[in-house]
Structure 1
Amino acid sequence: MKAGVKLPEVTFHTRVRDEAIEGPNPFRWEDKTTADYFAGKRVVLFSLPGAFTPTCSTYQLPGFENGFADFKAEGIDAIYCMSVNDSFVMNKWAESQNLENVQVIPDGSGEFTRKMGMLVAKDNLGFGARSWRYAAIVKDGVVEAWFEEPGLSDNHAEDPYGVSSPETVLNYLKTAKAEVAA
């Protein structure tokens, strides 16, 4: 659907650990751009409705984290998890999930998600504006393959999950690699 689309240029406001800062919160603000994350790399980007939510925390994020070596073997340089949550929330979620491989990207204002056409209202759950669930393979800032859950709409009664799963994305990579080799 969005294959061939260049990712929007936005600035993400992140908090990064800084060992020079003492105390219980050794983090500083660091702005990162779309180019900082995606330029010159082939990555998997997946976006989900919210940090700490059941499907995201139980299946999607752990699946990408635990399958990182398999993705690397298929030519993926990095895996990014994005959500319309601020950096404080994303960092705490990454910590609670013991992430070592997947990097989180906070899209706190939803600017990237809106420009991708994936910002939806989830007022029916008290969430406000959030991302529709999707995954993408991105090469040097351009979408190579797109995996969007069905039913994109505001206040959707369900939270579909499957099309953007780590298993689906990895299967695509293996199939594409086999087709090139044949």
Structure 2
Amino acid sequence: MIPGARLPDVTFQTRVRDDSIAGPNPYRWQDMTTADYFGGKRVVLFALPGAFTPTCSTYQLPGFEKGFDDFAALGIDAIYCLSVNDAFVMNQWAKAQGLKNVQVIPDGSGAFTRRVGMLVRKDNLGFGLRSWRYAAVVRDGVVEAWFEEPGLADNHEADPYGVSSPDTVLGWLRAAAQGAAA
């Protein structure tokens, strides 16, 4: 996507905790829309190939989680991690990662990822359809900045990581803030 483009309108099927439900799985389905996540806020969105995968779990997600205060100081209201995984997987990954700041968005069917042009085949790894790695700064549903890893392709042999890193996005936000202050 390019700066100035509006994110596509999609509905995400999420699972949210509901204390009125008894038993070991007190969660219910809740539809969330693009407007619910992005409307009226300035956010960082980052997407990755899969929950529980090495680069995603070791570097990208933890980096955004640990850097939340730095992002917030630069006017970011929320940080979202999106993957073409279902709500059950994304919720368990968030729990395993001990997330307090980053919120996960399950794009189980890949509808959002397809519409932003980032859906790729990862059959060479046994993943099927997944998201290419990218990040974006989004204000009220409109892309301010887009950080896409190089080499977007089906069955890419590598998993490039750097352009969409927390440090890169944070650097852009700092530069933008300095430019606005000048």
Q: Shorter-normalised TM-score: what interval?
A: over 0.9
- Give the secondary structure class of the aligned counterpart of 1:93: helix
Return the offset for 1:22.
1.2
Return the offset for 1:67.
0.3
So what's the TM-score if we normalise by structure 2? 0.99
Return the offset for 1:26.
0.6
Q: What's the counterpart of residue 78 of structure 1? A: 78
Superposition pairs of residues 1-182 of structure 1, within 5 angstroms: 2-182=2-182
C-alpha distance in 2 between matches for 1:127 and 1:141: 29
Return the offset for 1:128.
0.1
- Unaligned 5+ segments in structure 1 are none
Deviations 1:128-181 (A, max 9, x none): 000000000000000000000000000000000000000000010001111111
Count of residues paired in the alignment: 182
Structure 1 consecutive aligned stretches of length 4 or more whose deviation exceeds 2 Å: none
- Unaligned 5+ segments in structure 2 are none
> What value does the CA root-mean-square deviation take over the aligned residues?
0.5
- Give the secondary structure class of the aligned counterpart of 1:16: strand
Aligned amino acid, residue 122 of structure 2: K
C-alpha distance in 2 between matches for 1:176 and 1:14: 33
C-alpha distance in 2 between matches for 1:54 and 1:22: 35
C-alpha distance in 1 between matches for 2:179 and 2:28: 45
Q: Give percent identity, aligned residues only.
A: 76
